[in-house]
Structure formats: C-alpha cells, structure tokens
Amino acid sequence: MSKDKLSKDKKNDNTDKKVKSHKSECNCDDNAPNKCDCGDDCDCKTESKEKEYLELAQRIQAEFENYKKRNLEIVATSYHNGISAVVNKLLPSLDSFQQAKGNITDVQMLSGLDLIYSQIMSALASFGVTRIDCLGKIFDPNFHNAVLVEKNEKYEDEVILEEYQAGFMMNNKVIRPSSVKINKL
C-alpha cells in the first residue's frame, strides 16, 4: 500500500472514532433535539434539520397542488364567463332575427330562416347554452322577469301567459331572464 492511501485510511478511522465517541458522549434527549448542547455536529441536530427540510418540502408540495387546483378553477370560470359574455352580445341579434321571422309570409323563406335559427340554437347548445322554457310554467323570479300582469280566471295564479323576450341559461346559470306576462288573480 502507498503512504497516501495509508494516511487517508487513518484519517477515516479517526473521523469514525470521533463520531462514535461523540455519540457515546451525547446526552441529548431524542424527543427534544432543540435542547441539545453537545455541539454543532451532533447527530440529533442533523436529524432535526432533515425533519425540518422534509416538512418544508411536503408543505411546498401541498401548496403547489393547491395552486394547480386553483388555476384549473380559474381557467374553467374564465371559459364560462367568456362564453356568457359572447352570448350576451349575440342575444339582441337573435331577438331581431326572431322578430324578422315573424314578419315574413313567404313559406320557403320561413323554412330557410327556421333552418338557420335551429343551427344557431344547436351551436349555442354545444356551449351549454339553452333557452329557458317558460310558457305555462309558474313564475320564478330566478329565471323570469315579469313585465306585465293580467287577470285571467282560466289559469292558475302566477302562471306565465306570454313571453316577450326569450331567456337563456348556461350550465344552470341564468345569462338573461325571460321577460314575461304573468297571471295575477
């Protein structure tokens, strides 16, 4: 063996002996590593640091998981809000389309407009937007806006008699309530 290797082996043996002798001299309480007064290179302080770093890593990992969940919720909410905003801008055009359809008497023209209207409605349905069905239903202020009241003995109280403006909702959230006339006894 060479001299360098022998001196290196001796150093390693001395370090091992110091650690072993220090461990035997350590009077620390394993349950209270912060109260150790043995010195900086005590094993109990090293274990305490390891535990501290592990807890920190776990906390950071949990915070990152929460961050990812929050971002997914924000993305979904932003998507739905964007669709809702676009639909709100298109609804007046759809109302005008319906009014124009009511003034046309040509049967072929009406069938063409009905086809276009059904395509628009199916496009809206693909985004989760549906028309609020209200005629003959009981008035619900969450879905309907009463603009007129009429007294008609043929119908129950607060039944919707007529719809003036169609209401729409998206995924159980009202985009625009229906403007209706209700029966008031």
Using only C-alpha atoms, the chain has a radius of gyration, in whole angstroms, of 38
Residue pLDDT, tens place only, 56-97: 999 999 999 999 999 999 999 999 999 999 999 999 999 998
CA-closest candidate to residue 134, choices 165, 155, 156, 157: 165
Residue 172 lies in a domain: yes
Read off the CATH number of the domain in which 88 is found.
Answer: 2.30.22.10
**2: exposed, middle or buried (Cβ count in 10 Å: 0-12, 13-18, 19+):** exposed
Is residue 178 situated within a structural domain?
yes
82 lies in some domain = yes
Residue 113: CB partners within 8 Å, gap ≥ 6? 97, 100, 101, 104
> Is residue 4 one of the residues assigned to a domain?
no
Structural domain of residue 111, as residue ranges? 42-183
Strand positions, DSSP E, 101-167: 129-131, 144-150, 160-165
Tens of pLDDT along 10-50? 555 544 444 444 445 555 655 555 566 666 566 666 678 88
Least confident of 4-8, 65-69, 93-97, 153-157: 4-8
Q: Is residue 160 part of a domain?
A: yes
By three-state DSSP, how is residue 181 classified? strand
Number of folded domains in the chain?
Answer: 1
The pTM (predicted TM-score) of the whole model is: 0.62
Do 143 and 180 touch, CB atoms closer than 8 A? Answer: no
Is residue 104 domain-resident?
Answer: yes
In-domain check, residue 18: no
Task: Using the structure block, give the residue that is written with the tokens 């739905």.
Answer: 80
Q: Is residue 19 part of a domain?
A: no
